[in-house]
Structure 1
Amino acid sequence: MSSIPMNKQALYDSIQHAYDKLIADYKTIPDSYSRKTGVEGNVKGTKISVCDTLAYLIGWGKLVLKWHKQTSTGQPVTLPATGYKWNQLGKLAQHFHAHYKDWPYPSLLHEFKVTTDKILTLVNSLTDEELYGDTWYRKYTFGRMIQFNTTSPMRNMRTRIRTFKKKNGLM
């Protein structure tokens, strides 16, 4: 499942597969480890918690949903997010961490599921043409932008989570 999705079904399957693998790892991490820092952060040289990784994934997922809502209602879309430029993704990650800092681990796991389910529903509601027919942002289709901000970070985060689990004797 490492190839780049080029149609609706492949995108849907890619997101579902990445989610299933990642959530299986999250579910083996005890709550007592969820706020322990030790996961490689999105800002070079930083360490974050397991909860911060969920905040990051939820934040990006919600941005994807927001982009679609804005596009479908004719509103202007600010990418990646209002107040952030593409060269400020570390700051955006820290914004996500801060936004969810008080959420308990089980609530973050639930919110990650809800957000992923909404993205899967969105993908399912769109046609191949809507996802891959036209350039949506710069040279990228909307399907590719969804993949960049769902499957890719999920896979990346799974590698980091598994490293954290190994270092903490959780595997």
Structure 2
Amino acid sequence: MAVPTNRQELISEIEKNYSKLKKDLETIPSELTKEKELEGHAKGTEMSVSDLVAYLIGWGELVLKWNRKKNKNENVDFPETGYKWNELGKLAQKFYLDYEKLDYKSLLDKLDKVVNEILNVIKSTKNVDLYEKPWYEKWTMGKMVQLNTSSPYKNARSRVRKWKKLNEEKNTNAQQWL
């Protein structure tokens, strides 16, 4: 699908990309999820599948925080207080640490909750507010949500599928999780 241009397209894109990612994530044996074998979000780093899920939760939580602050007419520190847009690798590392104590099932449950909260925000927001006026600088709310939800879900799925293919031999039932 092309880049979403309205509320229904955004909802559909998030649901589609997240559904595909979730199916892949749910088939990974939990004992493999802490191994740092994926390329990290900061140059020269590696992350685990759990870190990748933490990253998605972190960005989802930020989207919700931005929305709450905007709704209260409060100042929003984009992307996050203490971080600049050119420090996203450092922010990713923060997300990994924020959720490192959660087991894999808890991470997946938390990601589900965050995605559902974001979908509820979108469903309760008028299309004019999502796509017809700036929300952050020149960007609309819909574009900012898309850049931090459906696009990363698609990217994460590619990373997970690549990792799964490289690690087939680790699981005697590899075909069931590919």
TM-score band (shorter)?
over 0.9
Return the alpha-carbon distance in structure 2 between the equivalents of residues 152 and 43 of structure 1: 18
Return the alpha-carbon distance in structure 2 between the equivalents of residues 156 and 39 of structure 1: 12
Hey, which bits of structure 1, 4+ residues long, moved more than 3 A?
none
1:97-118 per-residue CA deviation (whole Å, 9 max, x = no partner) reads 0010110000000000000000
The percentage of counterpart residues that share the same residue type is 45
Return the alpha-carbon distance in structure 1 between the equivalents of residues 121 and 108 of structure 2: 20
Partner of 2:88: 89
Q: Which runs of 5+ in 2 are unaligned?
A: 169-173
Q: How does 1:1-171 map to 2 (within 5 A)?
A: 1=1, 3-169=2-168, 170=174, 171=178
SS at match of 1:45: coil
TM-score by length of 1: 0.97
Return the alpha-carbon distance in structure 1 between the equivalents of residues 11 and 100 of structure 2: 29
Return the alpha-carbon distance in structure 1 between the equivalents of residues 122 and 63 of structure 2: 11
Return the alpha-carbon distance in structure 2 between the equivalents of residues 126 and 68 of structure 1: 10
- RMSD of aligned alpha carbons: 0.7
Q: Which runs of 5+ in 1 are unaligned?
A: none
Return the alpha-carbon distance in structure 1 between the equivalents of residues 97 and 147 of structure 2: 23
SS at match of 2:37: strand
SS at match of 1:37: coil
Aligned residue pair count? 170
Q: Which amino acid aligns with 1:111?
A: K
Return the alpha-carbon distance in structure 2 between the equivalents of residues 41 and 155 of structure 1: 16
What is the CA-CA distance between 1:44 and the residue it aligns to?
A: 1.6
